[in-house]
A and B are shown apart, each in its own frame.
Chain A
Amino acid sequence: MKKAIIFILIGAALIAGVIATGSYGLSEDNIHIYEQAVALEKGNSNLGFEGFAMTDYPVAFYDGDHDYVIVWENGGYNIVKRKAVINSIAAAAYCVDGHYEVLAPAVEKMSSLLKMMTTGSAEYGREECVATLWHEAFHCWQLTNYYDNIEAICSGEAEENLIAEYADTNPQAVALFERQAALLENAVKTDDIDMIREYIAEYKKLDEQRKALFSGNITALEEYYTRVEGTACYVEACVYQMQLPEKFCSAYIDHISEYGKGSNKYYKSGMAQCMILDTLNPQWKESYDFSEPLINLIYQELGLACESLQ
């Protein structure tokens, strides 16, 4: 009997220890990330996109079991725990109960995923996480305000496998895209308008050749990623630059010309087009409604004749 009591007491002590040392709720790291993201908004408002406010959209951090939803209200925030909406490690703008929310993995989750996938060579810290929140919040804003214009770019689901099936397997298209991306990178890296015009004129010629290789579906899909993801990637890059200016070029600019399979290359070329527009006309985004290809705006700014690419 005495031994049984001792055994039960040991168990009770262990259970108490486990409960006492456990961490519950959203970790401080994630809360700091949200606060850091909000602080950037206070300093820089909307990055030039009229009506865009990161704090308009709840941010749900997924910790592997639950979502912790942070809602900004009256100059402060509330955190609510709920059942995970998508139960998956994904950063996304997601419609929940009729409004868009930012879904993001908790930084610990994302960090361990990246460490596993890159055997520790890639880092995903606070700054990257803050930039991701802005990227997804921008999608929330796009979808809340310009849903019809975005739908019009590419009807139906944006099926990334079409890119892999057609664009990435056509050597001529790959070669042309690589040359185009290199021209965009050069244009981003210079402030000389004449040089930019020269690069973009060459880009335009190559673009016409490349588009002739594909059906309208592929072109529309590429345009969707360039316009919708490219602008969000641009927002992400701006936010990253505000936090880590010394790492900005190596993280975002120096890789524009690198070809990668899948849709990510369009994110980069769309971002590059936004940056070129910043050089040509910093007010371009005040009234941008996603109905026009970014490259058309560049052609217009440079006085290069263009035909409709839609």
Chain B
Amino acid sequence: MIIAFTSFKEKIRRKELYLVSVTGVLILLIFGTGSGSLTINGEAVTDYKSLAPILLIVINAISCSLAVVMNIGTIPNEYERKTSHLVWIRKIPQCRYHGELTAANTFSGLVSEAILFLALFIFMISHGRSGELWRLLPAYLMIGINVTIVSVMTSAFSILIPRLVSGTISAAVMLMGIFHSLLSLLKDIIGGFGGEIVRYALKIIPNLHGIQTQAVNVLCNKSIDVHMILTGMLAVYAFAALIFVLKRKEA
């Protein structure tokens, strides 16, 4: 795990990670503590059960976006800088190398998510929910599944596909995953050929929204759908398998 550890240290030294995370925390705090006004249909949203899902949606979106940004260039950069050769001469297999770089990025993403969860922590205390702070842990782990899916997927794509294309595909898949439920309804409304395309796309795109909903359910004391979480973990597994299988020719 020395590669992962070194890469992780390098990642968490990057200012961008903290800049985005802290900005995210500030935005979340502005809305979560009532300093800002969030309105739906002209009515201010201030209660816990309405605001908590919104905050989690924002945390999920920022964390997943950061995961794409952090993973998009890591593996290609290693090959461009020829640092990969330093690894090959030590007889380290490519799958382990890619796996450890991805793991480092995923941990960085989880650190960023943890920073964003600070806002949720403060939000819960400010809404008198100190006794329910333990709920943050399962919610964090569930959003963490989404971060891991996006991280591993982006890294897997970046092994073989050029950076711009893999980044675009990853961002598109991430957005479709976040809007999975919306798209699922849309395909039923539009119907026809377009609807069929969306239908088949949704079958292979991880349902990030579904997992995020389970995190919301934990925070709001509702029952969770274990199937959705296991499906998310299976998506992590499938992309991880790709990381181990895909190989670059330059090596």
A binding-site residues for B, Cβ under 8 Å: 7, 10-11, 14-15, 17-18, 21-23, 62, 64-65, 86-89, 105, 109, 112-113, 116, 119-121
The answer, among B185, B191, B226, B237, for a CB contact under 8 Å with A21, is B226
B180-197 vs A, Cβ < 8 Å mask (1 yes, 0 no): 011011001101000110
Q: Which residues does chain A contribute within 8 Å of B241, judged by CB atoms?
A: 7, 11
* Contact partners of A113 in chain B: CB under 8 A: 185, 188-189
Kindly state the separation between the CA atoms of A109 and B196 in the bound complex, as whole angstroms.
Answer: 17
Q: Is the CB of B182 within 8 A of A116?
A: yes
With A87-B188, A121-B41 given, is the CB distance from A21 to B233 under 8 Å?
A: no
Nearest chain A residue, comparing its CB with the CB of B244: A7
Given contacts A112-B185, A119-B40, A121-B41, contact A86 B230 (CB under 8 A): no
> Do A18 and B188 touch (CB < 8 A)?
no
Interface of B is mostly: helix
B: interface residue count bin: 20 to 34
Other-chain residue from A7, A17, A112, A121 in contact with B230 (beta carbon distance below 8 A) = A17
Whether A64 and B188, one on each chain, are in contact in the complex, defined by CB atoms closer than 8 angstroms, is yes
- On whether the beta carbons of B234 and A112 are closer than 8 Å, the reply is no
Q: Would you call B126 an interface residue if the criterion is a C-beta within 8 Å of the partner chain's C-beta atoms? A: no
Complex A-B, nearest 4 residue pairs according to Cβ-Cβ distance, in ascending order:
A21-B227, A89-B188, A88-B191, A17-B230
* A interface footprint on B150-186 (CB within 8 Å = 1, 0 otherwise): 0000000000000000000000000000000110110
Q: Contact mask B32-61 → A, CB, 8 Å, 1/0?
A: 000000001100000000000000000000
A14 to B226, CA, bound (A): 12
Interface string of B228-246 (1 = CB under 8 A from A): 0011011001000100100
Q: Are A64 and B184 in contact (CB under 8 A)?
A: yes
Q: Give Cα A105 to B189, complex, Å.
A: 11
Contact partner of A89 (CB less than 8 A), chosen from B40, B182, B189, B196, is B189
